Chain A
Amino acid sequence: RKEVEQDPGPFNVPEGATVAFNCTYSNSASQSFFWYRQDCRKEPKLLMSVYSSGNEDGRFTAQLNRASQYISLLIRDSKLSDSATYLCVVNHSGTSYGKLTFGQGTILTVHP
């Protein structure tokens, strides 16, 4: 089983649509969780951290379910500029130096 596993995608949605991505992680001792976005041939950029209580940043909502070891990202009112690969990222405990494990990414394409 992969340490971090995401929806395979790709997702192809019209502008204005709501889209949700899911992610599961295998290490129950994981401590920190993030969503990054990566544009084609560019470096990953932090989209948002994910907290147990759930958090929202504008059109983006992230949720964490520790019991199910499940993370989600919801994008409302999709824009063309949201087209990118979305990476689920987990920091496993016991690594004080902050080793991150990346999911394989989910490709989102928003079309007019």
Chain B
Amino acid sequence: GAVVSQHPSRVICKSGTSVKIECRSLDFQATTMFWYRQFPKQSLMLMATSNEGSKATYEQGVEKDKFLINHASLTLSTLTVTSAHPEDSSFYICSAKREGDIQYFGAGTRLSVL
């Protein structure tokens, strides 16, 4: 069964609105979760590392004020895309480490900004 749950799976929104995506670890605690973005025909690009109880670590070129990450509990991290624009349309995927260095991925959220 699923190890990491991600919701919603699909979002269509108007330009300028904010969208929140949830990532939950199931049956285990994840002090660290990861948020990735994948554009069509490209590989996953790490956006940020979400740390429980502290600030997220953002990769170079990722705007922290635009992509707000909150990791308030050991099983939940959220990514909020603020004031979304068409260029933010992408496939957003979260992951969590369960044992060792192996990461398990959520099913992803396909965001379409009109």
Name the one of A43, A103, A105 contacting B105, with C-beta atoms under 8 angstroms.
A43
A87 contacts the other chain (Cβ, under 8 Å)? yes
Chain B's interface: helix, strand, loop or mixed, by majority? strand
B1 to chain A, nearest CB (A): 13
Q: Which of A57-65, A66-74, A94-102 sits within the interface?
A: A94-102
A31 contacts the other chain (Cβ, under 8 Å)? yes
**CA–CA, A42 to B110, complex, Å?**
10
A interface residues, how many (CB within 8 angstroms):
21
Binding site for A on B (CB under 8 A): 6, 32, 34, 42-46, 49, 51, 57, 91, 93, 97, 100-108, 110
**CA–CA, A97 to B46, complex, Å?**
13
19 other A-B residue contacts (CB within 8 Å) besides A32-B101, A98-B32, A105-B43:
A32-B100, A34-B102, A41-B110, A42-B107, A43-B93, A44-B44, A44-B105, A46-B102, A87-B43, A97-B32, A97-B49, A97-B51, A97-B57, A98-B103, A99-B46, A100-B101, A100-B103, A101-B46, A104-B42
Of B43, B57, B100, most buried by chain A (CB within 10 Å of CB) is B43
Q: Are A31 and B101 in contact (CB under 8 A)?
A: yes
When C-beta atoms are compared, the residue in chain A nearest to B32 turns out to be: A97
When C-beta atoms are compared, the residue in chain A nearest to B2 turns out to be: A43
Q: Are B34 and A100 in contact (CB under 8 A)?
A: yes
B99 to chain A, nearest CB (A): 11
- A43: chain B residues at CB < 8 Å are 6, 93, 105-108
Q: Are A102 and B110 in contact (CB under 8 A)?
A: no
- A46: chain B residues at CB < 8 Å are 102-104
